[in-house]
């Protein structure tokens, strides 16, 4: 693995527990990891580039999960945290930065009525736009709603706004351990020149290498982490 490739362990939090949902369905918990902050501390002990944290309840309902962010940052220290879920405004994003989050993921608000440039101006390199794709269309609001934007159109919007980093997730693969959607990653790579993180379906080191080979600059590993995948050996 190249040194500049970011392999990030993911901890998704719902109702106070670390979970992995299957294909983003809130009623379909594929795996549980207990105390999320204990899990964050455990994965941070291996010194990944960042720990990826998603507040699933906030993603669905909106509102910056500030207290969760503070606790996640404290648990991961000194490893920085990339956190998303619930950001619906620039004020929400700034609240997470004030809580110590190193990178803020913005999905729903990135493809809503607010100009994406406002998030770029406020966050700069701290911004990660979440491009969450199902059936060729970007989903929002905890993946429960359609943005009506194709992957290509969403990435065009990111490029025009000056976004430097996106996280592209294959919703149909997420939490399934079915392998990554390499075609989606290829499409994202062709449509976006900045840093590209890939997520969804990654099972093992071979999958990590596969997403790197098709152009991803990093990958997020979620359910495989709870199933025992040692991301430090990838």
Half-sphere exposure of 18 (CA within 13 A, CB side): 22
Q: Which of 205, 197, 206 is nearest to 170 (CA)?
A: 197
Token readout for 87 is 């950001």
Q: Which residues contact 213 (CB under 8 A, 6 or more apart)?
A: none
Catalytic residue among 12, 92, 204, 217: 12
CB-CB neighbours of 225 under 10 Å: 23
Cα distances (Å, whole numbers) of residue 179 to 117, 153, 207: 34, 25, 7
CB-CB neighbours of 140 under 10 Å: 20
Catalytic residue among 15, 27, 92, 132: 132
Report the SS3 class of residue 52. strand
- Known catalytic residue: 132? yes
Give the residue numbers annotated as catalytic, written as ranges: 12, 132
């Amino acid at each position: 693995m190249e040194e500049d490739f970011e392999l990030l362990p993911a901890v998704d939090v719902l109702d106070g527990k670390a979970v992995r949902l299957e294909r983003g369905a809130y009623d379909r918990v594929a795996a549980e990891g207990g105390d999320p902050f204990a899990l964050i501390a455990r994965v941070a002990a291996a010194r990944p580039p960042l720990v990826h944290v998603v507040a699933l309840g906030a993603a669905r309902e909106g509102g910056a999960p500030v207290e969760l962010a503070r606790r996640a940052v404290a648990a991961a220290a000194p490893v920085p945290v990339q956190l998303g879920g619930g950001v619906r405004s620039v004020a929400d994003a700034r609240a997470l930065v004030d809580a110590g989050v190193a990178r803020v993921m913005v999905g729903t608000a990135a493809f809503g009525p607010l100009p994406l440039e406002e998030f770029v101006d406020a966050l700069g390199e701290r911004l990660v736009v979440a491009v969450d794709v199902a059936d060729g269309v970007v989903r929002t609001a905890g993946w429960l709603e359609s943005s009506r934007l194709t992957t290509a159109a969403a990435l065009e919007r990111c490029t025009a706004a000056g976004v430097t980093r996106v996280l592209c997730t294959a919703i149909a693969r997420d939490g399934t351990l079915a392998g990554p959607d390499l075609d989606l990653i290829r499409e994202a790579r062709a449509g976006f020149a900045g840093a590209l993180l890939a997520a969804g379906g990654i099972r093992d080191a071979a999958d990590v290498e596969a997403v790197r080979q098709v152009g991803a600059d990093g990958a997020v590993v979620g359910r495989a982490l709870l199933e025992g995948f040692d991301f430090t050996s990838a």
